[in-house]
Structure 1
Amino acid sequence: MRTVSTGADAVEADAALARGRILHARFLNDRDSVRRGIPSAGYLRWMCTAAPGADSDTSAGM
C-alpha cells in the first residue's frame, strides 16, 4: 500500500527516488563496461573501496 504525502515529504521522496535511479543507471553502465572488458573509473573505485583490507588512504587516491 502506498501512502500519499504532500509538501516537504513528497519533495524529499521524489529526490530520493531520483537519486536511486541515477545510482542504478550508473551501476548498470559500470557493469556493462566491465562485461565488455573496459572497467569504468567508478567501478574500479568501488572495487578498491570494497576490497577486503582496503584502507581509506589507498582507496581515496583512485
Structure 2
Amino acid sequence: TDIFTDKAMDEVYRYSAGSSRATNKVCTHSLMFASQRAKKLIDDHMVRTVIEGELP
C-alpha cells in the first residue's frame, strides 16, 4: 500500500529538486503531519501545507 499519492510525490520532488536531504525532510514532516491527523494517505495538499507552513 502506498502512503504518498503520485501527486504528493510530485510535490516532494518539486520542493526538493532531487536533493535527498530535502526529500527526507519533507517526507518526515509530512508523515508526522498525517499521523497527528490520523490520516493513512498523504496527498499533494498535505505536502504543500507542510512545505508552506513548516519548512523554509
TM range (shorter): 0.3 to 0.5
Larger radius of gyration: 1
